[in-house]
């Protein structure tokens, strides 16, 4: 009833873009007019801000078969994600793992953080950010990384990463130490 009241007369409820596939700990979905605790099977909508606690993680299964795992102490906003259109996630803090499928011919998806944007198509990557630096690591496929205010773009392949400090262009593509990669994988994995 409250959602219908907030939407106003004649406005349709938003369509979900995916659902909670797995979770550990408390996870919230926040919108301007509401916050709700997410549980297995619950829908996720465009414009939801997904917020995890210190030991919480959540995996979102999108309607096209793609998935995003949100690590602990993370806030990521689902700006756009609909069949046949580009996707955009705003990573405010924390870490996410995004695995895209090729089910609709490949969709362009960007993960935007304060210091960098990672743009992908039908691939897998992990992005972590804090107020000063964003790290992008490619699990499979290829990723382009750019930084606000800089024309340089760095191309990354599977097994490569780049660090992007605030106010600087993306760092060169390089192999990250196995311990760093495994720490990121563990942070964005749900058993």
The predicted-structure confidence for 99-139, as pLDDT tens digits, reads as follows 887 655 566 888 999 999 998 876 889 999 999 999 999 99
Strands 75-80 and 43-45: unpaired
Least trusted range by pLDDT, from 17-21, 77-81, 128-132 = 77-81
Which of 129, 149, 115 shows the shortest CA–CA distance to 73?
129
Q: What is the mean pLDDT of residues 7-23?
A: 74
Distance in angstroms (rounded) separating the CA atoms of residues 25 and 163:
29
What's 73's DSSP letter? Answer: S
pLDDT above 90 for 8: no
Q: What is the mean pLDDT of residues 80-87?
A: 74
The predicted-structure confidence for 161-171, as pLDDT tens digits, reads as follows 999 999 999 99
3-class SS of residue 152: coil
């Amino acid at each position: 009833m409250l959602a219908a009241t907030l939407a106003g007369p004649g406005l349709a409820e938003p369509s979900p873009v995916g659902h909670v596939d797995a979770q550990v700990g408390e996870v919230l979905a926040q919108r301007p007019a509401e916050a709700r605790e997410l549980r297995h099977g619950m829908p996720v909508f465009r414009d939801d801000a997904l917020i995890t606690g210190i030991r919480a993680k959540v995996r979102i299964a999108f309607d096209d078969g793609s998935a995003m795992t949100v690590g602990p102490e993370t806030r990521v906003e689902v700006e756009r994600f609909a069949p046949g259109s580009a996707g955009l996630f705003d990573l405010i803090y924390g870490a996410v793992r995004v695995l895209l499928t090729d089910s609709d011919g490949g969709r362009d998806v960007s993960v935007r953080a304060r210091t960098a944007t990672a743009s992908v198509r039908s691939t897998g990557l992990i992005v972590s950010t804090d107020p000063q630096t964003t790290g992008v690591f490619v699990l499979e496929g290829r990723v382009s990384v750019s930084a606000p205010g800089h024309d340089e773009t760095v191309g990354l392949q599977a097994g490569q990463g780049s660090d992007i400090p605030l106010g600087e262009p993306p760092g060169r593509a390089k192999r990250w130490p196995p311990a760093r990669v495994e720490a990121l994988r563990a942070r964005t994995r749900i058993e």
